[in-house]
């Protein structure tokens, strides 16, 4: 039984994240979507909201959602997970992701990082861009799950389409 962790800020969840979680399920028995609680950042959505988006959008008994604080590898050990999943959208992601994977390996050599590529139509997608476009009332309906779209519309108003 291999449990994998898909960690991130998920502020907010995008269709790219959902795509990664479903791809990971084809390779691992269980996927835990792990939402970082970072007191140094001011996210748009609370941890509870972000977890709600995930549980509403990914309806699969093999996918669960948990929040965590502190080191990711400590959380992975606590959860009995041997694999960390990260998405690679483009070459520009590589340097940061490589550094993070190597640091995590240095801290916990028994835990592997697996990189997955999202569907090509999500290769430009990021939570940051979604927030920016939604705040300017652009249409992001094809980029985020319905529950996230609703929450974005509540924050910023509906798009102009
Ligand atoms: O979605 P993000 O913001 O790119 O996710 C980054 C995340 C949560 C995976 C990363 O910041 C993280 O693992 N934070 C926990 C602290 C930690 O373990 N740091 C050492 C690894 S570099």
Question: For the segment 64-88, what is each residue's pLDDT rounded down to a tens digit?
Answer: 999 999 999 999 999 999 999 999 9
| Residue 41 annotated in active site | yes
Q: What is the token pair recorded at 30?
A: 């269980």
Q: What domain range includes position 83?
A: 3-122
Predicted pLDDT of residue 40: 87
Q: Is residue 161 part of a domain?
A: no
Residue nearest to atom 17 of ligand 1 (CA): 71
Any domain includes 152: no
Instruction: Give the end-to-end CA distance of the chain in Å, rounded to a whole number.
Output: 46
Catalytic pick from 23, 57, 86, 127? 127
Residue-level pLDDT at 158: 85
Active site residue 119: no
137 is catalytic: no
User: Measured from the CA of 74, which atom of ligand 1 is nearest?
Assistant: 18
The pLDDT assigned to 159 comes to 77
What parts of the chain have a pLDDT lower than 50? none
Residue 39 has what pLDDT?
84
Q: Across the strands, what pairs with 7?
A: 34
Where residue 45 sits, what CATH number does that domain have? 3.40.50.620
Question: What separation in angstroms does the CA of 47 have from each of 3, 28, 107?
Answer: 22, 25, 26
Region of residue 137 (left: phi > 0; alpha: psi -120 to 50; beta: else): left
Q: Which residue has the tokens 């959860």?
A: 79
The answer as to whether 89 is a domain residue is yes
Q: Ligand 1 atom 11: the closest Cα is on which residue? A: 8
Tally of structural domains, the chain = 1
pTM of the model: 0.96
Q: Which atom of ligand 1 is nearest to the CA of 36?
A: 8
The residue assigned the tokens 């959505």 is: 45
> Would you say residue 92 lies in a domain?
yes
- Cis peptide bond N-terminal to 101, omega within 30: no
- Out of 3, 89, 105, 153, pick the active-site residue: 89
């Amino acid at each position: 039984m291999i449990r994998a962790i898909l960690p991130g800020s998920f502020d907010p969840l995008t269709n790219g994240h959902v795509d990664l979680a479903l791809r990971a399920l084809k390779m691992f028995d269980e996927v835990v979507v792990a939402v970082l609680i970072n007191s140094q950042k001011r996210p748009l959505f609370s941890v509870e909201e972000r977890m709600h988006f995930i549980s509403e959008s990914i309806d699969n008994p093999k996918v669960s959602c948990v929040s965590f604080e502190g080191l990711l590898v400590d959380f992975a050990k606590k959860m009995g997970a041997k694999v960390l999943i990260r998405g690679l959208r483009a070459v520009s992601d590589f340097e940061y992701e490589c550094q993070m994977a190597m640091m995590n390996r240095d801290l916990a050599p028994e835990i592997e990082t697996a990189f997955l590529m999202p569907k090509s139509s999500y290769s430009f997608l990021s939570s940051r861009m979604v927030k920016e476009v939604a705040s300017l009332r652009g249409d992001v309906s094809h980029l985020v799950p319905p529950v996230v779209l609703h929450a974005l519309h509540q924050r910023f108003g509906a798009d102009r389409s």
